[in-house]
Amino acid sequence: MNVISDKLHVENNKWIGTRTIRPDGADKVTGRACYAADNVMPGMIWGKVLRSPHAHARIRSIDTSKAEALPGVKAVVTARDIVDFPLDKSVMLGIQDMRWMCRNVMAREKALFHGHPVAAVAAINEEVAAEACRLIEVDYEVLPHVIEIEDAIRPDAPILHDFLTFEDKPSNIAGRMEAKLGDVEAGFAQADVIVERTFRTRPVHQGYIEPQACTVSYAADGRATIWSSSQGQFMVRAMTSLLTGVPQSNIKAIPAEIGGGFGAKTIIYLEPVALLLSKKSGRPVKMVMTRDEVMRATGPTSGSLSTVRIGARRDGTIVAAQGTFYLQAGCLPGSPLRGPVGCSFAPYEIPNVLSVGYDVVSNRSKVAAYRAPGAPLGAYATESVLDELAGKLGIDPLELRLKNSAKPGSKAAYGATFGKVTFEETIEAIRTHEHYRAPLDKTPRPGVKRGRGVASGFWYNAGGESSAQVNITEDGNVLVTTGHPDVGGSRASIANVTAELLGIEHGRVSVQIGDTSSIGFSNLTGGSRVTFASAMVVTQSTEKVITQLRERAARIWKIDPEAVTWENGEARPAGPNAGQFPPLTLTELAAKANEMGGPIGAGVQLNTTGADPGFATHVVDVEVDVDLGIIRVLRYTAAQDVGRALHPSYVEGQIQGGVVQGIGWALSEEYLYDRQGRLDNASFLDYRMPVCSDVPMIEPVMLEIPNPKHPQGVRGVGEAPIVPPLAAIANAVHDALGIRFTSLPMSPPKVVEALEGA
Amino acid sequence: MAEIRYLAPRTLDEAVGAFAAAQGAARILAGGTDLLVQMRNGLAKPGLIVDIKKIAEMTEIAELPDGGFRIGAAVSGAMLAEHPRFGQVWPGVLEAVNLIGSKQVQGRASPGGNLCNASPAGDSVPAMIAAGAVVTVQGPEGRRQMPVEAVPAGPGRTNLRPGEIVVGFTLPPRPAGSGDAYLRMIPRTEMDIAVVGLGVSLTLAGGTVTHARVGLGAVAPTVLLVEEAGNALLGSRLEEAALDAAAAACRAACRPINDKRGTIAYRTKVAGVLLKRAVAIAAQRAQGGN
């Protein structure tokens, strides 16, 4: 796709930057890959969750006696079995508050959404477990429910949680976050043009294909083994430990191959429940969610109500920006406020910024992280307003962005002072791209209109804790173990890095993901951090291995280790000894390992830093069937600073995947509720994610500007590409129709209605 | 757990006998693309499944001496697509049958199953109605025929009598100058369900419409034959006024609901849009285009 990057890599590297065969590929295409639901154990039984039929209800009592008496039922659990975290004291695991997590995995005082787990059963098979769920008698006091933000923040709204107050009154506003710079009112006073708009987005689901699933075996000695699919086996261990009271040292969490997560599998639903069922029954317990359960009771990300106001001088200099973002948390606090509050204005140098977010609870499933959590809905508002501002100022929208882009030393309202900033490069890449310059026939046929739009986006990226172990096998090959489930090609990238550093054939390196008992603590696969962080610890581990290999050769040759170099997979005498001894290959050194000091291997555990933020700029062409209101994406080009593409196919895949998810968010995906507060489209038929034929080939433009703080120059890439598409598409639709959509998705009925009202 | 019996009879008499004897506890299995999904979701719990695919008549496609076609109820979309002649004579019906479900299930999905599932959004039904297809049904009291539009009674309900099985469809002979088309509106390009579906069959003589039928789906409890739309086109040369009148007739026939798949206003508008677009395609085909 991008010639420059490939050439750059070919010049410098043998493996880094090449499209090596992915290590997980053969297993996945032949159906051998072992996902969470594939695990089977002797004596295993099945767990099922009983879910609330009400959107909001007090639980007066639960009678499980009939279910327990049903033949084949082995165990029943309710909230009484889950560790209670009292409401007056926050206990955090990462960004998750256990007060909310314990109530999310099992309703405690109240059922807070339709589908909220109320009890769970383990039985000899799924049918008996389902029958037992029907026999559980729950006495509900049905309460009025509230779904939408506008309704939830009304003074007379049904209150979900008595303990939540806002401005000293009981409220569904669970929290507020602010980012501030300068004096925003004074800034607006200097503006010649001000644009202010209010935007709405609907909750959208992460849409991973693999439902949540786990098998848990709690043995008689009090040790538990968990097989599950997640974005972090250490999170699974820690959260399960907190919610069940079993110490972490007694839990082994084994990561299964993961069939998509996109952020949503950074929390758990089933594992603690299955553990408790296994503990009570003495049998391994398997639980697999149905698609209906996944849609109804996991994720999605927040819907939003945002108002953004931006003021500029006549020459296009932005002098002030203000954003107010209300986000749906679902039934318990925890919206990703940091996304819109921090990211919306971050790509720009604006002297006066006030960005405020509100966390609003309502009777929906609790939101989970979704790729650049919260940032896309913030950028939708900001980048739409910028588009309108560019129109009012008569400035090209990319010029406007370029004129105001953050530079090294710029201070972002969220607190950071930027070092290297590569935003301008992404704008330039689009501005000079053939796509942006290509003529667009705006009325190709009667009833069809076309338009082009641009937008940019920002994501923080992250470092954090990672561990790696690099071992040389007795036959002289290499086994690398990291602690991160691979959702975006980390194994393939790590194999490239290790082979490059050791100077050996790529096929001699195997990369595996360790369980919690075989590798040191590694934080979640999320935040666009894994390739960045694990390449760092793998590099340091490999360098230690190379030092050992040089020492071994030095010992064999009886020379100083400093006089040994490692080149092309072999130790060579250097300096005064150059040429005195034939080189020793990795295989030869491995064969002599034990007589020369023991096994060869090294591990590194780090809290990695230096993950600079990601920037992206996109251009899109759309076509609108004006009679049917259908919007199709004709062409899409996405430029991003990727630092260095260790494995370009995966980097392109990340960019394309993020864009496609953004297209779904913009055009067709939404959570729909009925009057009883029940999700009305809990299936892939009616929750309309784009299918392959809905999207064109997305062209990624990888800008490889090495991150100076990383050994290979890596920058996180997974999240930034989902940030611009919502606004880019809305801006393109505006270009086509002259109508600015301030509410997503731009579904056909909405488009027709807008056209008829125009 | 309730037991499920499975029968795959070789003759229609056997099938009808077993089906009728089960007194409502049985379901007919053609491709199973609706039935198996319903069973998995707990919506259908049959005590007996009668698989009709082993009955020769059910899977035959025959071009009749008069130029008409007979299609067995369990003929799959893929089989129909492979027939050398059917798609040339009835391209609209073929398109519609090939839209049942998705590409992945076309080797199983059948027009008989699509009709008996009685979804207002079934893709093949508007095209069959437009084609003037007649179904043959067989029950304990023998064989009878009924027009396709008389089969659905409401969402998930048919006018078949207890024990009756749909055996096949008969499509009439095609005079020269005929063409048909089926269009549906879906928000996506694939893997979706019709928000509105519309089939048109036309015959033109010297540019004048001599025969026109319109079937309209997903806008009422059952798929509709919109006679007024056909009448509006009849005798016209497909002038704008005739097309407007036919579109208006389609809109007037709509009795849709607001649901997750579309609004009343949207469905009503789209019915008119699809009428014009489908007529244009059918007319082009009638005049020798593709």
Position A476 pLDDT exceeds 80: yes
Name the CATH topology of A145-419. Answer: Aldehyde Oxidoreductase; domain 4 (3.30.365)
Q: What is the mean pLDDT of chain A?
A: 96
Q: What is the pLDDT of residue B1?
A: 52
Q: How confident is the model at residue A62 (pLDDT cuts 50, 70, 90)?
A: very high
How far, in Å, CA of B200 to CA of B277, rounded?
10
Q: What is the pLDDT of residue A194?
A: 98
pLDDT value at A4 more than 50: no
Which chain B residues are within 8 Å of A753, Cβ to Cβ? 265-266
3-state secondary structure of A478: strand
- State percent of chain A over pLDDT 90: 97
Angle at A133 between CA A130 and CA A138, to 5 degrees: 160
Q: Do the Cβ atoms of A688 and B266 come within 8 Å?
A: no
Of B94, B87, B2, B109, nearest to B47 by C-alpha is B2
Q: What is the pLDDT of residue A10?
A: 39
Task: Map tokens 């509100």 to a residue.
Answer: A358
Instruction: Check if B2 contacts A (Cβ < 8 Å).
Output: no
Domain boundaries, chain A: 3-33+463-608, 145-419, 421-455+612-758
Q: Residues A281-329: pLDDT tens digits?
A: 999 999 999 999 999 999 999 999 999 999 999 999 999 999 999 999 9
Is the CB of residue B4 less than 8 Å away from at least one CB of chain A? no
Subunit contact A691:B191, Cβ cutoff 8 A:
yes
**Nearest CA to CA, how far is A490 from chain B (Å)?**
32
The Cα A525–Cα A163 span in angstroms is: 33
Give residue limits of the domains in chain B: 5-119+134-171, 178-286
Per-residue confidence band for B41, with pLDDT thresholds at 50, 70 and 90: confident
Average pLDDT estimate for A463-489: 97
Q: In the predicted model, what is the mean pLDDT of residues B97-118? A: 96
Pick the range with the lowest mean pLDDT from A11-15, A216-220, A335-339.
A11-15
Q: How far apart, in whole angstroms, are the C-alpha atoms of residue A357 and residue A42?
A: 50
Name the pLDDT band for A7 (thresholds 50, 70, 90): very low
Tens digits of residue pLDDT in A580-639? 999 999 999 999 999 989 999 999 999 999 999 999 999 999 999 999 999 999 999 999
Q: Summarize pLDDT for A90-100 with one digit per residue, the tens.
A: 999 999 999 99
Mean pLDDT value of segment A569-582: 93
**What is the average pLDDT across A157-174?**
96
Complex ipTM, two decimals?
0.94
Whether A127 sits inside 8 A of B188 (CB atoms) is no
Q: Which of A202, A625, A628 would you mutate first to test chain B, the one with the most B CBs within 10 A?
A: A628
pLDDT at position A420: 87
Q: Which residue do the tokens 């994406």 mark?
A: A633
Asked whether the beta carbons of A596 and A555 are under 8 A apart, the reply is yes
Name the class of domain A3-33+463-608.
alpha beta
The arithmetic mean of pLDDT across residues B23-28, rounded, is: 94
Share of chain B above pLDDT 70, in %: 99
Q: For residue B100, which residues of chain A lie inside 8 Å, CB to CB?
A: none
pLDDT in tens, B154-174: 999 999 999 999 999 999 999
Please tell me the predicted confidence (pLDDT) of residue A5.
38
Residues of chain A with C-beta less than 8 angstroms from the C-beta of B260: 672, 680-681, 686
The domain made up of B5-119+134-171 has a fold known as: 3.30.465
Quote the DSSP letter at residue A79: G
Instruction: Tell which wins on pLDDT, B73 or A575.
Output: B73
CA–CA separation, B186 vs B262, rounded Å?
Answer: 10
Identify whether the C-beta of residue A267 lies closer than 8 Å to the C-beta of residue A238.
no
Instruction: Give the closest-approach CA distance of B134 to chain A in angstroms.
Output: 31
**Which residues of chain B neighbour A694 with C-beta distances below 8 Å?**
188-190
d(CA A329, CA A341): 15
Q: Is the pLDDT of residue A6 over 80?
A: no
Which of B188, B265, B270 minimises the CB distance to A688? B188
Nearest to A270 by CA among A246, A295, A243, A231: A243
A421-455+612-758 maps to CATH 3.90.950.20: no
Across the interface, of A690, A693, A752, the residue whose CB is closest to B269 is A752
Alpha carbons A680 and A693: distance in angstroms, whole number: 25
A752 at interface of B, judged by CB pairs closer than 8 A:
yes
Q: For a pLDDT cut of 70, what percent of chain A falls above it?
A: 99
Distance in angstroms (rounded) separating the CA atoms of residues B203 and B209 = 6
Query: Do the domains B178-286 and B5-119+134-171 match in fold?
Result: no
Residue window 235-274, chain B: list those with CB within 8 Å of chain A. Answer: 259-263, 265-266, 269-270, 273
Q: pLDDT-derived band of residue B270, with 50, 70 and 90 as boundaries? A: very high
Of chain A residues 675-714, which have a CB less than 8 A from chain B? 680-681, 684-686, 688, 690-694
**Minimal C-alpha gap between B179 and chain A (Å):** 24
Question: Is a pLDDT exceeding 80 seen at residue B288?
Answer: yes
- What is the arithmetic mean of pLDDT over B103-116? 97
CATH superfamily label, B178-286: CO dehydrogenase flavoprotein, C-terminal domain (3.30.390.50)
Q: Which residue do the tokens 């060579």 mark?
A: A572
In this structure, what token pair is assigned to residue A602? 């090294």
Burial A532-557 (b: 16+ CB within 10 A, else e): bbbbbbbbbbbbbbbebbbbbbbebb
Say whether A630 and B263 touch across the interface (CB within 8 A): no
Q: What is the mean pLDDT of residues A101-114?
A: 98
Rounded distance between C-alpha atoms, residue A392 and residue A396, angstroms: 10
Give me the DSSP letters along A245-313: ---GGGEEEEEPB-S--TTGGGS-SSHHHHHHHHHHHSS-EEEE--HHHHHHHS--PPPEEEEEEEEE-
Distance CA(A192)–CA(A415), nearest Å, equals 27
Tell me how crowded residue B99 is: count the other CB atoms within 10 A of its CB: 26
What pLDDT is attached to residue A9? 38
Decide if pLDDT at B223 tops 50.
yes
- C-alpha to C-alpha distances, A652 to A259, A312, A699, nearest whole angstrom: 19, 35, 8
Q: A165: which strand partners?
A: A170
